[in-house]
Amino acid sequence: MAGMAERGYVDLAAMLRVAEVALLTPATRQDPERIRALLHPDYVEVGRSGRRWTRDDVLDRLACEQARPTPATDEWELMELAPDLVLVTYRMRGDQRESRHSSIWDISSGSPVLRFHQGTVVPSTG
């Protein structure tokens, strides 16, 4: 399998950023089929609260979530973990708080599928 350089790092970075940000948007969060397409069946998340979530847990939670604005993100970085696994990290700001996020994306099928995600709240310094 081709590594990130062979795939085109810029194209891969853009594809993963689009997929990651899509998961933050109300349109995707309210579309169970889109969520199923983006989250691997064995998906695991460790939320900002420390709680562990599965794909089914996320689908259940999002089914009753109120729409909210898409949070701002920046400080995006990618690291190839294996030929078909990429770690994506970024900072998110919204709801008057800041958090750091890490996601592991499987790109073996050509369409990114999220395997793991963790969010960590950044303590306020005020």
Q: What is the pLDDT of residues 70-90, one digit of tens each?
A: 999 999 999 999 999 999 999
Query: pLDDT > 70: what percent of the chain?
Result: 91
φ, ψ at 26 (rounded to 5°): -60, -40
Which residue ranges form the domains of the chain, and what is each CATH number?
A: 4-122 (3.10.450.50)
DSSP string, 73-104: EEEEEEEEEETTEEEEEEEEEETTEEEEEEEE
Whether 8 has a pLDDT exceeding 80, the answer reads no
Closest CA to 97 of 124, 66, 63: 124
Q: Which amino acid is at 73?
A: T
Partners of 46 in beta bridges = 52, 118
**pTM of this structure:** 0.88
